Structure 1
């Protein structure tokens, strides 16, 4: 046995606190050299494990032979063998993703199902999912991240441990695994797809890395050494980013408010903005667009697939995109409570009291003269062209102008609903009632409508 590799394996597992001899491991085994060496090292080091194999049914008979080989491997170590066949092509088509992405999603969904619901498989409960990623994989990942521009987080490469997912071979280079397999007579399967350069990782592995190592023979080794420094730098970097976020971000009703003047004083501004907006689906290329918003007029915005960044006076507001509802809700005379996306409206009838001060006067309550109300009412989102006579005014006003005067942001405007009767707006919900339907000295009965937010 190559005691050096086994000792290095034990040392890496212990130093990175990946797992202990008491833990049950789920080894993800393809049958290739990396996962075969992983099995042998875990067995020789005395760790407990079961084996899981994915048959993606992408290479016909070759895929089935891989499955049979891994099953024989499990028999050799006298451990539990779990296998699952996937219709990877069908999944990729349904999800509109590549075969590589489909295979990754399918296998990790299954692996996580095993470690969280192992009773289904009548196996000892595995605590960790163990993969055979090694140092060469890590160097390739960093290069791919560098080319894609993922930022400093991409430079830390593949982490040894992410939750229940552990990678105990990251310390070893591919040539060390090959040497170990040769010296110990380990048999493994060759995946024919590994020879194809149509996959970006394979192209980097077969072309970029060898070209670089022709000039710098220790390139992969040095990249992995640098990865350790980047991991430490990433921790410090995130601590600094969190410090800036705490000073800048205010959370209000599912939206993020950032004071423009305060943000302009932050440094490095470009990096801080990117780290704030990337959590909301924005790309690094959109960072410059957000920078331009800081000095733009109110109402300018940019969007990601899920969110919008809006300039509103002295604030930058990040809010989720909401699908506009064209729904119209009919309110009958018998209605007591109506639910809609902003919350609910409660309807009640009251006798008029001469003491007007006893009547509620909150913004979320509409008090209307019953004799002027004709059911059914319509509850809907306001639209351009709508107007009403704001309480206290004898002239009509467009709701668009009313909301501008209220200094409402674009996001706030989109959430405004109105209550309509016979094509007349009787209440801009939670804002102002119409003067034509107000309670007066001749009122005998009052319709009270109360808005309660969701």
Structure 2
């Protein structure tokens, strides 16, 4: 088994044998065997044990066993006590989820503190098979069908090749002692139910179900690699990034096959669930302006595009600009620079992001704010007022673009729709003596 252990580490490229490991050891059969195998294979390792204080004296017994086990092999020992019940109540988590969060957070902090390369856990083939069948039963995609990964970030699982029977046989052959966790006997936890009830019934019909499922998991991992490559190829074709926003062309997306799966994969990195991806698919046949939001992003159905934009944190709704002020810093790395100069007949820049205004017509302080429904102004060159909502339609602005528009007010009159158009009433004329120039631009860092 030692040779299989070393061969599995090499085949999966889990880690360099010279890399120092932090072994997560509960004191049960599996982790006790993991410690022995690491020592026999000549790996550098330290032992870490979590005391979750959930089983009274039994928890303390486990801690003492692991402490003695580490001492037997001359390995550094680390222990952490947790108030798991309090953490679970405070974070509204199940006891199992709370213990998992506490365990991995501490192990990772300890790994960094000790300068170790990886955290090694004692998950084996049965654990992987149980996870596979649990995921299948709940409903899953490709990710759920690859089971527990041998390498995940800084976590390695070098025992996934071995069955529980093989691990028990190894422990017996080497006279290894271990402790039993009484909570493993109850079926109130989903994993234990699959372990004690579901898999034994499957084994009664298919005696090789564990090894056969393990082989299927390996094939699914390989199939997932091909699947991810295909998804990434489509992502490069379909998703175009412009600043913080992402654009997906609707016509091209409609041609993607299978559409539902591709849409889910494209949206998953932005926090959208499978059910939300289904809602987005319905947006393809809706009118522009409809949207769906995840916890971090919003997707808007534009005329030709699906536009994904981040949900920005709340920002100031308005800025006061005093006379003589030279700059206003806006959210999203934007700024407005302000300069006042004498009107000397120079040609005025004709760009929508630059406003050249007759200073004498301005009343300070000015107010810079986000536009709102009901706003209107007199667009440059027009003598009639126009609502901003209508003006935006004429400019063919998408919903995310509309939401980013700021307007500049003087005495409750809009003088500039920033980045788009000034108000005709405040334009520079031959009679103007001073010009107030404002420019909307990206902020330099």
TM-score with structure 2 length normalisation?
0.95
Aligned to 2:295: 305
Q: What do the CA deviations read for 1:92-150 (whole angstroms, capped 9, x no partner)?
A: 334333332222222222222233232xxxxxx42221100000010111112223333
User: In the alignment, which of 29, 36, 43 is matched to residue 40 of structure 1?
Assistant: 36
User: In the alignment, which of 327, 335, 352 is matched to residue 344 of structure 1?
Assistant: 335
> Is the counterpart of residue 375 in structure 1 residue 371 in structure 2?
no
User: In the alignment, which of 124, 130, 145 is matched to residue 140 of structure 1?
Assistant: 130
**Following TM superposition, by how much is the alpha carbon of 1:323 offset from its aligned partner in structure 2, in angstroms?**
4.2
Cα distance change, pair 423–94 in 1 and its aligned pair in 2 (3 A): farther
Q: What do the CA deviations read for 1:218-262 (whole angstroms, capped 9, x no partner)?
A: 112111011111111011111111111111111111111111111
Secondary structure of the 1:359 match is coil
Q: What do the CA deviations read for 1:153-209 (whole angstroms, capped 9, x no partner)?
A: 211111111232111100111122122223322221212222232322222222222
Q: What do the CA deviations read for 1:18-62 (whole angstroms, capped 9, x no partner)?
A: 234322211110111110111111112222211011122222322
The alignment yields a C-alpha RMSD, in angstroms, of 1.6
> Is the counterpart of residue 389 in structure 1 residue 378 in structure 2?
yes
Aligned to 2:213: 223
Aligned to 1:60: 56
Matches within 5 A, 1:108-119: 108-118=104-114
> Is the counterpart of residue 329 in structure 1 residue 319 in structure 2?
yes
Aligned to 2:225: 235
> Is the counterpart of residue 354 in structure 1 residue 345 in structure 2?
yes
CA distance in 1, matches of 2:314, 2:46: 50
> Is the counterpart of residue 296 in structure 1 residue 292 in structure 2?
no
User: In the alignment, which of 186, 206, 209 is matched to residue 196 of structure 2?
Assistant: 206
Aligned to 1:446: 435
**Following TM superposition, by how much is the alpha carbon of 1:402 offset from its aligned partner in structure 2, in angstroms?**
1.1
CA distance in 2, matches of 1:364, 1:117: 51
CA distance in 1, matches of 2:161, 2:109: 28
Cα distance change, pair 94–389 in 1 and its aligned pair in 2 (3 A): farther
**Following TM superposition, by how much is the alpha carbon of 1:326 offset from its aligned partner in structure 2, in angstroms?**
5.7
Secondary structure of the 2:248 match is strand
CA distance in 2, matches of 1:386, 1:313: 24
Secondary structure of the 1:46 match is coil
In the alignment, structure 2 segments of 5+ residues that lack a partner are none
> Is the counterpart of residue 410 in structure 1 residue 399 in structure 2?
yes
CA distance in 2, matches of 1:410, 1:175: 60
CA distance in 1, matches of 2:388, 2:217: 58
Aligned to 1:284: 274
User: In the alignment, which of 67, 75, 78 is matched to residue 79 of structure 1?
Assistant: 75
Secondary structure of the 2:364 match is coil
Contact 1:326-1:381 within 8 A present in 2 as well: no
Once the two structures are overlaid, the 10-residue window that deviates more, 341-350 or 126-135, is 341-350
Aligned to 2:151: 161
Once the two structures are overlaid, the 10-residue window that deviates more, 410-419 or 325-334, is 325-334
In the alignment, structure 1 segments of 5+ residues that lack a partner are 119-124
Once the two structures are overlaid, the 10-residue window that deviates more, 166-175 or 418-427, is 418-427
CA distance in 1, matches of 2:295, 2:186: 34
Cα distance change, pair 323–16 in 1 and its aligned pair in 2 (3 A): closer
TM-score with structure 1 length normalisation?
0.93
> Is the counterpart of residue 265 in structure 1 residue 249 in structure 2?
no
Cα distance change, pair 147–353 in 1 and its aligned pair in 2 (3 A): farther
Contact 1:325-1:381 within 8 A present in 2 as well: no
Provide the aligned length of Structure 1 versus Structure 2: 442
CA distance in 1, matches of 2:164, 2:349: 76
CA distance in 1, matches of 2:438, 2:402: 21
